Amino acid sequence: MEFQNNLPRRQPDAADCAQCFMETRCWPESTPRSGSVEVHREPVLRRGQSLWRQGEAYRGLFLLRSGCIKIYQHSSQGEEQVLQFALTGDLLGLEAMTAGSSDSHAVALTDAMVCRLRWPAVDADATQVAHVERRLLQRASSLLRQRARAARATEPTAALLAFLQDFARRSGVHEARVAEDQRKLRLPMGRLEIGQYLGYAEETICRSFHRLQEQGLATVAGRTIVLRGPAVPPTTAASEPMLRVAAVS
């Protein structure tokens, strides 16, 4: 459940991506230190706090430095539909740029650190503007490819396994090995939210976890799992389930 933060938000700190150790995670398509992108570091979002709410005026583009943010909408029947589970390096807010206001909610599933991009001033050097635009387009293109790979599979068990693979890859789990062929993963979302993202009922997702277990592909202990086997390449993450999953206590 979301909670209200009634404390006044302090003025965000001005920063520069070129001086941040997270630059290669936020801008993986660009050459590190190739140029500056000025950002404002927003106050830390605590779990359950909103980055924006539906109907709020557009405040700019955001980069997620750490944590996980859920972006969702409510249908005309009041049902929640999850549009995105944003992770480190994801670009947020593009959809509201043209409309001038957001048609979705963004809430932190974990404590999260967010930077708001500052567009170059009107009188800025043309080279600086072109640099920011180029990096922004590269990042947006990467995210569009990512969403295309996340196209829903027609069979829920395959869709669930593909989701786990893609989430592990995007969250950098391949960098945190607990053994030669094992990667530990802690999901910040529950079964209901996974179903709202994949387009299935919570009961279907629970049955799919059970089916993965029966097939010897998964054993799940709550939200903590360990992926076994070689990391799945980005081009096959959403279409060719390959990883084996085992639980940890």
Predicted confidence (pLDDT) per residue in 64-87, tens digit: 999 999 999 988 888 899 988 999
First to last CA, the chain: 26
What integer pLDDT is reported at residue 8 of this predicted model?
44
Q: Which two tokens stand for residue 216?
A: 């010897």
Rounded Cα distance, 1 and 116, in Å: 25
Strand segments (E) across the chain: 13-16, 38-41, 50-52, 62-66, 69-74, 80-86, 91-92, 105-108, 113-117, 177-179, 182-186, 224-228, 244-247
The pLDDT assigned to 214 comes to: 79
Distance CA 27, CA 36 (A): 11
Q: What is the pLDDT of residues 226-248, one digit of tens each?
A: 776 555 554 444 433 334 344 44
Q: Is the pLDDT of residue 2 over 70?
A: no
Contact 106/61 with Cβ under 8 angstroms? Answer: no
Hey, where are the domains in the chain? 13-149, 156-247
Question: For 13-149, CATH number?
Answer: 2.60.120.10
What is this structure's pTM? 0.73
CATH hierarchy code of domain 156-247? 1.10.10.10
Instruction: Work out the angle at residue 45's Cα, subtended by the Cα atoms of residues 3 and 192, and round it to the nearest 5 degrees.
Output: 60
DSSP labels for 153-221? PSSHHHHHHHHHHHHHHHTTGGGSEEETTEEEEE-SS-HHHHHHHHT--HHHHHHHHHHHHHTTS---B
Q: Check whether 153 has a pLDDT greater than 70.
A: no
Specify the pLDDT at position 188: 95
Mean pLDDT is lowest, of 13-27, 32-46, 188-202, for 13-27
